[in-house]
């Protein structure tokens, strides 16, 4: 029962339309984390044996940067990041609606900054190159406006659903955990 309430709480501001996108982004985050960990390990091993693969640092950077920016977008959808829960959850009624809207408008403004300035960096990145592959650094900067677009999309989703259904949601019930006392006389064979 508690797990159903947690799922309801996580989904209270989501359309079913973006659930598939969220799953895909979570898989990409997992791939980035696995790729980052593996390439760092291979980099350490190859340097230790005296035959370093220099291109591994580029791959590691790519996994790290894309993992961070994709993860930021997913965290925004799940209300795990860029969200002032303590302030908003302490309010009710119109005050909560106003604060939740204000918070999401600020996040939307930040998303616009990611898109605008990230796209400018992306364009400038074609004049700088990564070594040793000589690929434009714009390949890394592309993650920034992509993240901004996803954050904006998920924030608009939360605003629309919050205005339609309200931002308040049921808190999961805490079920008491029964702790049974240990009877030392009843189980003597366990001490042998």
Residue 16 has pLDDT above 50, yes or no: yes
Nearest to 158 by CA among 62, 79, 45, 54: 79
- 93-124 pLDDT, tens per residue? 788 888 888 888 999 999 999 999 999 999 99
Domain residue spans in the chain?
A: 16-168
Nearest to 28 by CA among 73, 59, 61: 73
pLDDT confidence of residue 120 = 95
Residue 37 has pLDDT above 70, yes or no: yes
pLDDT confidence of residue 35 = 96
pLDDT confidence of residue 81 = 57
Q: What is the pTM of this model?
A: 0.74
Which is higher by pLDDT, 191 or 71? Answer: 71
pLDDT confidence of residue 152 = 95
Token pair 């714009």 is found at: 138
Rounded Cα distance between 191 and 107, Å, is: 59
- 121-135 pLDDT, tens per residue? 999 999 988 888 888
pLDDT confidence of residue 14 = 55
**Mean pLDDT rounded to a whole number for the chain:** 82
């Amino acid at each position: 029962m508690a797990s159903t309430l947690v799922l309801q709480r996580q989904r209270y501001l989501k359309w079913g339309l973006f659930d598939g996108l969220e799953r895909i982004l979570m898989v990409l985050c997992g791939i980035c984390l696995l790729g980052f960990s593996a390439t760092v390990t291979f980099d350490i091993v190859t340097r230790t044996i005296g035959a370093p693969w220099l291109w591994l640092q580029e791959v590691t950077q790519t996994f790290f940067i894309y993992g961070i920016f994709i993860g930021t977008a997913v965290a925004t959808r799940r209300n795990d990041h860029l969200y002032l829960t303590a302030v908003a959850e302490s309010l009710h009624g119109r005050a909560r609606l106003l604060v939740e809207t204000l918070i999401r408008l600020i996040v939307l403004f930040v998303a616009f900054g990611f898109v605008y300035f990230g796209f400018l960096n992306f364009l400038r990145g074609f004049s700088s190159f990564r070594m040793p592959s000589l690929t434009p650094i714009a390949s890394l900067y592309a993650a920034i406006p992509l993240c901004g677009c996803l954050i904006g999309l998920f924030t608009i989703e939360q605003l629309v659903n919050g205005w339609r259904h309200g931002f308040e949601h049921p808190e999961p019930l805490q079920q008491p955990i029964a702790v049974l006392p240990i009877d030392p006389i009843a189980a003597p064979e366990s001490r042998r």
